Amino acid sequence: MTQDSRRRTVVRDGPWGSFFLLAYIGAAIYFISISDGTFWGVILGLLQATVWPVYAIYHLLLAIRA
């Protein structure tokens, strides 16, 4: 193989993955702590932690009356 025929892909999104993992863990802790502690309450808390940015954007739009 010649030098020109090789392709190299460099992915540099590792730090963002770490940030989003920490954000998910923090949101999961928050939503589980405000749940009623039942099995389905914990499952709902984990699901809410997955989509917490939607809550944040919704309340931001409410705050600026958009």
| Contact present, 26 and 53 (Cβ < 8 Å) | no
Question: For the chain, what are the domain ranges?
Answer: 12-63
pLDDT of 2 reads: 56
Which pair of tokens denotes residue 8? 């190299």
pTM of this prediction exceeds 0.85: no
Query: pLDDT for 9-32, tens place per residue?
Result: 877 767 888 888 999 999 999 999
At which residue do the structure tokens 């499952």 appear? 43
